[in-house]
Each structure stands twice: as structure tokens, then as C-alpha cells.
Structure 1
């Protein structure tokens, strides 16, 4: 009488399940990190509030490029209602100023002496002067040129529309009325910014999407572990 021994290939199966579980965790983590990065890509301005008839220094900051292509230039168009514009000299940028028929600055182009990598934050600045009759909002359309392609940050929110819902919003500065002492409700010399130089008002979308990506990764891990335990 002959007998045979049946060997169950448990080791290879365990290895495959471990690989699946690891891939699930990595995929969820990547998604959690990548989605907020994509959602927060924009050109911002700080401060985002100035006082009518006053002066201030506006800093336009950006990160990422055109589909992850390094940034080579920023062309910023000036809105009507500015009494003066003076770009800030910077050793990292070449500055070209265009003027209208009235002699006022109509656009400023900052060309990077070396392309700005997508994983670094870049910034340019300018001093602006406001009239007493400057509009309540000042939009600064920006064209971000890159090694490959360009992105036009020119969209403006309609009345009642959430600016965060726009794909390519233009940087906007709110102008407040001057009080009797010549200052607005907020001191224009003390902008509300966070550590990255952006406006203090945070966009909740990147946080929500990031949490969703992390939750997806954790869920995938749980499913993989349960499947592994059932088959062992």
C-alpha cells in the first residue's frame, strides 16, 4: 500500500498576501499625500487685504508647475485702480515691466534665472499704491510659464460662487475703506499669513481629500489582513 503526502504551499500564499497588504498601505499613503498636493496647487497673494488710499507690498507665491514641470516665469497683469506699482528687485528673477498709454504699469513679468523645481516654493513681490476710489476687489491674473506648458490663473468667482471651487483662480486682494485715523479695519502692514506665506484662511478641501485617501489606505489594509487570517 502506497501513501502520498500532500504539501500545502502556505509560504508562497502568505508571501503574496503580505505583498498585497503592503501595496495597499503604500497606495493609500501615496493617495493621502498626493491629493492635497494637487488640490492646493495655485498662485496665492499675501496679504489678501489692503486699505484704500494706502500702500502695501504684495507677495505672489506658488508651488508646483504645469503638470509637475518647473516654473520659468510669472506674468502678472495689473488691475485698474492702482496708483503705483514698483516690482521688488530679486537676484533670482529678471523683471520686465510693461506700461499702458497712461504710463501706469499694466503688467510685470518675472523670469526665473533658473527654473523653479516643482518641490520648492517660489515667490515674487511688488509694492502697490491704492487710490481712495480703488475698487473693493483687485484681481491679478497670472500666467505661470513652465519648461513644458503654461497655466493661466485667471478665473474669477461669480457672485455667490466659492472661489475654492475654481480650477485656476486668479489671486484677489480685498480693499477695505479707510477709517478716520487713515487705517482700515485691519492693519495692512500685518498680513494674516501662515508659515508658508499663504493666506490664513485655509481651504478645507485638501484636508478632506487627504483624510479620504488615508482612510482608503487603512481600509485596504484591514481587508487584506482579514483575508489573510481567513485563509491561514
Structure 2
């Protein structure tokens, strides 16, 4: 009796490998999409305390329809006691003042246009009053070689800011609870007395993120191995 000596076709393992690659690729895409969606003019930090002061950094990572950025004009909200733009060798600074003498807008003009695939940033020191509003919006006009983008939209009550196409950078202002700098010193002292450095919570949060990402990768790897093992048995 004639018996075939042909080896089994490898099509099934190839299909399994493609399926596993698609699963991993989809997971990576799901992680990457939020980063792509956050391509706006942002401010950091996005939270300050009433009556305190801090340095705000406005960042961007794209131009107007991929055209290089030439300038940023940032309008100041009401409630700021002082504004001090940061001198930077990559930008020239033009300060506008209102009738009250306070800074009303600051324009940063790039000495060389910032390509749309590079990150650009400008900064300023700001001082807050005790009665500064709970939210400070900084409308930004981004000027480019070709075109202009106005980041001026502000979310209404109950509206999700992430749903806006061109949101203005917003800083949340927390109510003052003490003497400002003394509060930070007391918090650091309490953390030290507990045997924990002030930076420990941030480190723990970072490790939590890393471990979570590692768990996701391990889970996907286990899924791929299980699928391959099942296909071989069948």
C-alpha cells in the first residue's frame, strides 16, 4: 500500500504567528493612541496654590498642519499678581501690558522656526493672589510659517476638556491651607519622620507603572505560547 511521506503543511503555525503578532500590535496601538491624541499646547505644572508662585512651562510638539512654529502668543488670565517671562536664547520676548500695568500677553518668537517633529517650550514665572480663581486658562495663539492655530477653547461646566479640538492650557488653583512654603517643609519633615523620603511616592508610582506594563507584556506572551501549544496539539 502506498503511503504518503509528505510533511504537514506549515500554514497553520504561520496563521497562528500572524494572529499573535496582531494581538501584540493591537495592544501597542492602544497604548500609543492616547499619546497621539494629546498633541496640544500643554502647561506644566497644571496645578498651583492660591497666594503662591511658580514657573509655568508651555510645551508643543507639532506645528500648524505640520508647518514649523514661529511664535507663541500667550494671553494672561485675570487673577495673576505678577508675570515674569523666562529669558531664553532660542526666543525673543515681547510683553504687552494693560492699563493697570499688569502683563496682559506675552509673545515668544523663535529665532529659528521649530520643526513640527521637534518639541518646543517656553516658560514664565507667575505669582498668584489669595483670591485667584480656582481655574486659570491661558489662551495660546500658535503662529507657523504657514497658518495659525488658536488654542483657545475652554470646557463648559460638565464638558470633558479632552473632547475639545483646540483646548487652551488650564492651571487648577487649590485653596491655600497654610503659609505656603512652610507647608512643604512640614510635609517633608513628616515624610522623613516616617522613614520615607519626600520623593518616595513618586518613585512608588513609577514602579507601579513599570510593573503594570510588565504584567501586560507577560500576559500577552503567555497568550501567544498557549495558542501555539494548542495549535501543535491539534
Does the TM-score normalized on the shorter chain lie above 0.5? yes
Structure 1 vs Structure 2 CA RMSD: 2.8
Deviation at 1:41, TM superposition (A): 1.7
Which blocks of at least 5 consecutive residues in structure 1 are unaligned?
A: 1-20, 195-199, 201-232
Query: Which secondary structure does the structure 2 equivalent of 1:61 belong to?
Result: strand
Cα gap change, 1:160/1:130 in structure 2, threshold over 3 Å: closer, same or farther? same
What is the correspondence of 1:6-85 to structure 2 with a 5 Å cutoff?
38-85=36-83
Alignment TM-score, normalising by the size of structure 2: 0.64
Cα gap change, 1:157/1:184 in structure 2, threshold over 3 Å: closer, same or farther? farther
Q: 1:163 aligns with which of 155, 161, 165?
A: 161
CA contact (8 A) 1:135 1:175 kept: yes
Q: Does 1:138 align with 2:98?
A: no
What is the correspondence of 1:193-212 to structure 2 with a 5 Å cutoff?
none
Alignment TM-score, normalising by the size of structure 1: 0.64
Question: 1:102 is matched with which residue?
Answer: 100
Query: Which secondary structure does the structure 1 equivalent of 2:162 belong to?
Result: helix
Give the number of equivalent residue pairs: 164
Name the structure where helix makes up a greater proportion of residues.
2
Deviation at 1:182, TM superposition (A): 2.7
Deviation at 1:39, TM superposition (A): 2.1
After superposing on structure 2, the runs of 4+ consecutive aligned residues of structure 1 that deviate more than 6 Å are 184-187
- Residues of 2 paired with 1:57 and 1:64: CA distance? 23
- Residues of 2 paired with 1:166 and 1:180: CA distance? 35
CA contact (8 A) 1:178 1:184 kept: no
